Structure 1
């Protein structure tokens, strides 16, 4: 690490492991080349690291983020567990049963669910780098076997143990597009790519400078990025029969291009989340690495959790009312040893 002033601590790219307490980190172009890692990998927090970008959530940053709590209003960001009624990608729908232990007196209940079936976090076991088949920080699929000497590499419980509490920035792209392009609406149930220019224009319309603080912007290391594309709004507008119908697997989301990827990397978000089933535009708008499927870059290369199908409707409406787009968010992923993903269990506090 090198230091340029008493207030700025700059992380040198090749000085591993990186210090999460730094205030300025290398750009995507400056990432060190790590032996055995895919190009563009940021396996920089230590050879045994399991947290990825959550390393940025230092006590100092969490304490500073708490200053976003001004009204004390809590808004839950999870959909009910049974939504959507027909999960995408042939995933199992949520099932709930009540068990009577003592007649008329004592009851339990049991859940059967797929952690990817509703509001969720994609953990680091969810998606590998496609060409190398490596998961975050060099983990392999064979490391997931129960008989492996360390069967919990990239497990969701590491993220749960650390916890997630930080400042979130909500970009309400659905509202921005509707108000600035009233004659050119888009359907969230189509492959509508949200480009970097779209994101920047949306942010500036909300009074946010979309550049990282290192470049004079408003995005701080460790922020959580929230994108409202309109999927949840559209879901609630469907008829019961349409909600039960198999999904067409087409959704609006972030474009898989180099500009978007570089912005996501260089802003040093702790994690990202959106309201669609994939966060990124689906199907992908272009093929090839590191574009094509954004999941491989975020999860496998950078250790950046991806939240999907978050319910941002009430939060977006309240942010418009109070005129600010930064809030404090907490999330408690499931404490499941060896787990792949988790429901978000997320709350925004204004």
Structure 2
């Protein structure tokens, strides 16, 4: 037995599926290593969790097994649909100097048949960050050992391409933490266009206010392996409250790498408690309504993106429209729901619009 599998065998319990000491891991396992239990992978950055197979490019989407999808479908009670996508032209001016969406209509035969064409940046609206989007910076390594030369250049290939997600599919149980409503109810006043930090402690309190214990099920909480986490920061609400001129000016604030970045957005805090929770809950994906999900810019020497995408292989959704979802959750007093998303099937693609729907 290799040193990796020996350490897994020593630290991990299992209910169902084959033992985690057998690699690749069985995605139907119900207890998997915590962040502190992760064994070191030779040649990989510290805290890499690349245990789903040598040629795996879907990461924690592996957790969306037929058993879990079938179980998640029991959340469908009324059949009410809640679309989670912004219009493709929202925001009119995307953040971080990204290109505006351009739509043109082409007449094939006047008054009889038409086509249309889109010119867009897949990071400009409701999106999934693919595994090619953000590397572990210190080692310039993307998920499961993918490098920049795999993405661009004469030896480019399909490692970590978004089409792998499309071929697998995304559907499972979603859980919303409506931090924006919790903050308003508790006198926490902040502007989503500033770098306000949403801490683990506050998310715990938010969950408690909603009747949810946000700890993983293995620790006695309500979060099940494979759940899809949604966090509402209030960015979309704030966006619609502002004039087009103000929105544009804020989106065009100077962008630079590091703490001097004038692009600032509220998001999840960069802290150990957050890292432990996001990892140990074994979410299959994370979703937010802000341009960066994490507090931006980061005041720490790391980004959550590095852990979420490159080290752990968790799809990361940004700029999702969670306004109607939050309203439906409050109306029904239900914060768990079924969710489905269809990423674009683009071989070699970096990211994708979400094409997502919640079903109650």
TM range (shorter): over 0.9
1:195 is aligned to 199
**1:287 and 2:300 correspond:** yes
- Measured in 1, the distance between the counterparts of 2:297 and 2:91 equals 19
2:210 pairs, out of 206, 212, 216, with 206
- Measured in 1, the distance between the counterparts of 2:26 and 2:351 equals 27
2:346 is aligned to 336
- Measured in 2, the distance between the counterparts of 1:48 and 1:93 equals 35
**1:296 and 2:306 correspond:** yes
**1:67 and 2:81 correspond:** no
Distance 1:105 1:306, change over 3 A: same
- Measured in 1, the distance between the counterparts of 2:139 and 2:87 equals 37
2:174 is aligned to 168
Distance 1:4 1:280, change over 3 A: closer
1:242 pairs, out of 231, 246, 260, with 246
Report SS of the residue matched to 2:277.
helix
1:177 pairs, out of 167, 172, 183, with 183
Alignment of 1:56-205 (within 5 A): 56-145=63-152, 147-148=154-155, 151-181=157-187, 184-205=188-209
Report SS of the residue matched to 1:107.
strand
2:58 is aligned to 51
- Measured in 1, the distance between the counterparts of 2:182 and 2:110 equals 54
Deviations along 1:290-348, one digit per CA (max 9) or x if unpaired, are xx211011000000011000000001011101101001000000000000000000000
Contact 1:155-1:340 within 8 A present in 2 as well: yes
Deviations along 1:263-286, one digit per CA (max 9) or x if unpaired, are 0000000000100000000111x2
Contact 1:99-1:107 within 8 A present in 2 as well: yes
**1:308 and 2:318 correspond:** yes
TM-score (norm 1): 0.94
**1:35 and 2:42 correspond:** yes
Contact 2:136-2:311 within 8 A present in 1 as well: yes
- Measured in 2, the distance between the counterparts of 1:72 and 1:130 equals 43
Contact 1:4-1:10 within 8 A present in 2 as well: no
Deviations along 1:34-56, one digit per CA (max 9) or x if unpaired, are 01100010001011111100000
- Measured in 1, the distance between the counterparts of 2:13 and 2:348 equals 41
- Measured in 1, the distance between the counterparts of 2:19 and 2:309 equals 22
Deviations along 1:163-201, one digit per CA (max 9) or x if unpaired, are 1000000000000010012xx411111100000101111
- Measured in 1, the distance between the counterparts of 2:127 and 2:332 equals 27
Contact 1:82-1:93 within 8 A present in 2 as well: yes
Deviations along 1:74-117, one digit per CA (max 9) or x if unpaired, are 01101000000110111001000000010111110000000000
Instruction: Please state how far the C-alpha of 1:246 moved relative to its aligned partner.
Output: 4.5
Report SS of the residue matched to 1:304.
coil
Alignment of 1:261-280 (within 5 A): 261-280=275-294
Moved over 4 A (4+): 1-5, 7-11
Report SS of the residue matched to 1:282.
coil
Deviations along 1:17-49, one digit per CA (max 9) or x if unpaired, are 111010111100111110110001000101111
Distance 1:163 1:96, change over 3 A: same
1:257 is aligned to 271
- Measured in 2, the distance between the counterparts of 1:186 and 1:128 equals 30
Tell me how large the CA RMSD over aligned residues is. Answer: 1.6
Which structure 1 segments of 5+ residues have no match? none
**1:320 and 2:326 correspond:** no
Instruction: Please state how far the C-alpha of 1:245 moved relative to its aligned partner.
Output: 2.3
TM-score (norm 2): 0.92
Distance 1:84 1:237, change over 3 A: same
